[in-house]
């Protein structure tokens, strides 16, 4: 036996299985919640990436007519409303 091993104190302990189970459940729930948040954040980013071209009108070439402007305004309002609802739901949960 080496000198270091002989000099160490003997320690006896036990495993608290209830604590391990409780902490692993909390950890699992936390991880699951974070995955849900990441998925929602990705959905919001996707919506926002759809909003940008609608708002800038970059998907159309030439001068848009009145009906094109109205359709773009409606699409923009709908996409922004959906994005806002998702952001509120994400912050409220």
Q: What is the mean pLDDT of the chain?
A: 77
The CA distance from 51 to 79, in Å, is 6
Q: What would the pLDDT profile of 33-76 be if each residue is shown by its tens digit?
A: 888 888 888 888 888 888 788 777 654 556 667 788 888 888 88
pLDDT of residue 28: 80
Domain residue ranges in the chain? 10-58+66-92
Q: Is the pTM of this model over 0.75?
A: no
pLDDT of residue 6: 63
């Amino acid at each position: 036996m080496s000198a270091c091993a002989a000099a160490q104190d003997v320690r006896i302990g036990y495993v608290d299985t209830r604590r391990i189970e409780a902490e692993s459940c909390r950890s699992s729930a936390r991880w699951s919640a974070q995955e849900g948040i990441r998925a929602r954040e990705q959905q919001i980013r996707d919506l926002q990436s759809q909003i940008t071209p609608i708002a800038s009108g970059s998907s159309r070439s030439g001068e848009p007519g009145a009906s094109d402007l109205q359709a773009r305004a409606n699409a923009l309002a709908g996409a922004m409303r959906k994005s806002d609802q998702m952001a509120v739901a994400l912050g409220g949960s």
